[in-house]
Amino acid sequence: MGNSINRILPIDLYHMVSVPELVLERALKIYHVKDGKGEALPSFETGTLVVICTGGSFSCKVNKDDCNIVKGQVLLAAGEGVTSVKSFIETNFSGIVVFVSEEFLINRQRLIIRDITEKEINEAMTMLNLIESQLNTPREIRAKVIESLLRALVIGLQYSVHEERIERDDIPLFFHDLALLISRYHHSPAYFYAEKLGLSSPEFNMKCRQYSQMTAVEWIADYVLLEAKDLLRKTRLRPSQIAIMLGFSNQDTFSRWFRRLTGEFPSEWK
């Protein structure tokens, strides 16, 4: 497994991190900037950065390369790769800057810069208003609600890029829909995904085989394995936490499954 799925993986994956001591006000920062006025941005740690420019420009370095977006553009990047943000007074930047720490939302964000329509900006602003309104709700429910809204915001901002990839890579839309479902439900049976896609189990299996030469069970397992390896490599989460995030009943089940596919236990692989 592995050769086919790497061609099909269409989106960046996001997971909420369940951290008992999470301080949401520290893990999520939303900056509203108008006409170059606003507080200076901090150095970004590991996480997700979203910048929507509605005026002037936003200039910085991303992975040590110069980066500049102007009115009507959006930037999505891994926060730790963004440095040397120019003064907003100097660039007369207006817009929204959102930073989500990995403490709250694990990301696999590639650099994306694209034009954004006025309608998309309005939709993003509505989403951000909803997110900010949730900051005053009881702690036991607000993190999950905000996580869902953030996931919807980021995927929505990536959407046009994914439409272009569908045409360029000639990947059936079926696999994009399947990948989105797996990124949400993770380690679930093939028949569960078949039902979500409106297919019978044989039809689901046939579609997977036609394009990837893999059965549906193999395709799902390979995708979840990529998630598991990514979490083990990029985070400090314990295997027990990763097991829960990926839909396994317990750590032992996850460890046996991981060893069957890789020959190693999660703790050894990491």
- CATH number of the domain enclosing 197: 1.10.10.60
Same domain? For 111 and 160 the reply is yes
Q: Which helix (H) or strand (E) holds 229?
A: helix 216-234
31: containing domain: 26-166
- pLDDT, one tens digit per residue, over 94-141 is 999 999 887 676 655 667 888 999 999 999 999 999 888 887 776 666
Residue 162 lies in a domain: yes
* Chosen domain end from 128, 151, 166: 166
Same domain? For 30 and 162 the reply is yes
Same domain? For 194 and 83 the reply is no
Same domain? For 176 and 162 the reply is no
Same domain? For 207 and 246 the reply is yes
Residue 13 lies in a domain: no
Q: What is the pLDDT of residue 109?
A: 60
Q: What sign results for the dihedral spanned by CA atoms 209, 214, 217, 222?
A: negative
Same domain? For 180 and 238 the reply is yes
Residues 166-182: what's their mean pLDDT?
67
Residue 83 lies in a domain: yes
Residue 17 lies in a domain: no
- CATH number of the domain enclosing 73: 2.60.120.280
Q: What is the pLDDT of residue 50?
A: 93
Same domain? For 109 and 192 the reply is no
Q: What is the pLDDT of residue 92?
A: 93
Contacts of 35 (CB under 8 A, 6+ apart): 55, 56, 92, 94
Residue 35 lies in a domain: yes
Burial of 250 (0-12, 13-18, 19+ CB in 10 A): exposed
Q: What is the pLDDT of residue 258?
A: 94
Residue 233 predicted with pLDDT over 50:
yes
Residue 21 lies in a domain: no
Same domain? For 100 and 200 the reply is no
Same domain? For 182 and 264 the reply is yes
Same domain? For 74 and 140 the reply is yes
- pLDDT, one tens digit per residue, over 79-98 is 888 899 999 999 999 999 99
Same domain? For 161 and 178 the reply is no
- Verdict on whether the full-model pTM lies above 0.75: no
* Chosen domain end from 124, 145, 166: 166
Residue 160 predicted with pLDDT over 70:
no
Burial of 259 (0-12, 13-18, 19+ CB in 10 A): middle
Same domain? For 162 and 213 the reply is no
* Chosen domain end from 150, 166, 182: 166
For residues 182 and 140, the model is more confident at 182
Q: What is the pLDDT of residue 33?
A: 92
Query: What total number of domains does the chain contain?
Result: 2
Instruction: Give phi and psi for 244, each to the nearest 5.
Output: -65, -45
Residue 16 lies in a domain: no
Residue 179 binned pLDDT confidence (cut-offs 50, 70, 90): confident
Residue 15 lies in a domain: no
Q: What is the pLDDT of residue 10?
A: 37
Provide the token pair at 118: 């006025």
- pLDDT, one tens digit per residue, over 15-73 is 444 444 456 667 788 999 998 887 677 777 777 899 999 999 999 998 888 999 999 99
Residue 2 predicted with pLDDT over 60:
no
